[in-house]
Structure 1
């Protein structure tokens, strides 16, 4: 088809490398800052045996290498999971975050301003003024379980089992199976969702949900074909087609770390289960309206890609793809 000559895999790959992916030097600086923070806190722990901060692990999209470029100075550049040991069975998350912020301030001492440490509803954000990087330190309650298992505490006090190590192994296993394009497909879909939310602020689709939809298609394929990670346009269409044709009504369960029968049904319209925690529906709290809005948007996007594929000119094809990724999508 004409549009496929204009916007094909190489075009999408070049776009991802120039506009979506975190630049290599910035990624290196993120890792350096995260490692620096970890080392300083871990040194402090070693010097204070009674300290309740047990260990730290790099986590989130940066650790999984699925992060995309930040826009407008918002959001964080990297996440660190801070494993805390406590005997308090009734944790107040705001108190815990204040305590963690104070510990971070102690570690850095006079080298940073107090305003550089800001608790949010789930983390302590640290701004590195010299580089502008932002790191979220996320508290995890630690009870000595293996594989870095512990409990996140949400703003309403709910404890959610997680494991940084197992999540990293989960995505690495699928990347090893599918190839280098696996993470790139995730990043492109994250960029699509981010651009979509600029147009429709009510659209809900968290990054972790995107990662798990791609992981599911990596496991089972779609329409009799494996996930097409060597053809980004085809892979994006597969994920969108899955969303549209299933309506996100089909439960997704991963059995890497638990058996499928351990999952219990909930009243949520969408069921995509955390691969580490059979009690955590990643789409918990999404409403039926949220489901319909996301499915409708995926259908609209599929129609746009089809229009691009049938475009008579390069300009028409590029304009169509700009509806997915915004004006930064290249025209040359």
Structure 2
């Protein structure tokens, strides 16, 4: 239904191109900065014996091609996983982030200040003041396998099994079968949730959660209909309807890299399982009030999308979609 109104697939595709997608020049600058950091890190880590650098892998939204234009203060522009192997068993894993931060500081020497290097839960964030770019580098203890599995180490020294290679394979396989609309749909949904967070600073919804909801609907469809990745208004309506009608109370599990039976029971408010780690619910930190808040936002957006599909004028339809994407949405 949503694809039949004034704001159709072509209109949303144009909005994505103009307002959501990362421009080619900016994408090239991101890659240049990441490659610079990669080359310098490789050189510096070689002469520090605490950890041996095994490999560096691009990760996150930039590597998946689901990144959107970033506003100041919003997350990172690019992500990198630094696969390392401990050469000294006496070095505490909890110190790994501090060790990696010190190596990053050495890469840039005196060209940056201490505040440009910030340790988060599991990564070192590097802010490049000249370009405004931000790169997150996450240390991963390499397990030695060909699938790049390793332990992501948090600041508290906790271990979380991950694999950059398998995460990229997971989304690339779906994009290969679904076509380019699959990734564009994810970017549009990320733009929607960004606008929601602008209006409600307490709203929680990480982009990885959206990616996995889309992956689930691509495999299962909604209400007997495949996910319409080539009709963005309809696909967005399907995603919103799924969130609202299930209340995000139905567990989402994938079988690409493990058997679904390996996932244990959970009482978490939202249960969406990491496709490469059956022990990792990516929404484990979301509380019941977080679930309700997200469902309420989706319900409000669904009302607007449904109204836009039957709106009598272009202006009315545009106004409805503007509630999802903000004042930058120009519409039909």
* TM norm structure 1: 0.93
Please say if 1:216 is aligned against 2:222. Answer: no
1:101-144 superposed Cα distances (whole Å, 9 cap, x missing partner): 11112233344444432323322122223322111111112232
Alignment match, 1:31: 31
Q: Which runs of 5+ in 2 are unaligned?
A: none
After TM superposition, the runs of 4+ consecutive aligned structure 1 residues lying more than 6 A away are: none
Between the aligned partners of 1:90 and 1:129, the Cα distance in structure 2 is 32
| Secondary structure of 1:134 counterpart | strand
Q: CA deviation at 1:91?
A: 2.5
Between the aligned partners of 1:253 and 1:53, the Cα distance in structure 2 is 33
Between the aligned partners of 2:138 and 2:10, the Cα distance in structure 1 is 37
Alignment match, 1:98: 98
Q: CA deviation at 1:291?
A: 1.5
| Secondary structure of 1:52 counterpart | strand
Alignment match, 2:198: 198
Q: Is the 8 A contact 1:2 1:312 kept in 2?
A: no
Please say if 1:247 is aligned against 2:264. Answer: no
Between the aligned partners of 2:44 and 2:330, the Cα distance in structure 1 is 48
Alignment match, 2:272: 272
Q: Is the 8 A contact 2:62 2:77 kept in 1?
A: yes
Please say if 1:263 is aligned against 2:263. Answer: yes
Between the aligned partners of 1:204 and 1:128, the Cα distance in structure 2 is 27
Q: 1:154 to 1:211 in 2, by over 3 A?
A: same
Alignment match, 1:317: 317
Between the aligned partners of 1:298 and 1:88, the Cα distance in structure 2 is 49
Q: CA deviation at 1:320?
A: 0.8
Instruction: Summarize the alignment of residues 170-209 of structure 1 with structure 2, pairs less than 5 Å apart.
Output: 170-209=170-209
Instruction: Report the count of equivalent residues.
Output: 330
Q: Is the 8 A contact 1:3 1:310 kept in 2?
A: no
Alignment match, 1:107: 107
Q: 1:274 to 1:23 in 2, by over 3 A?
A: same
Alignment match, 1:287: 287
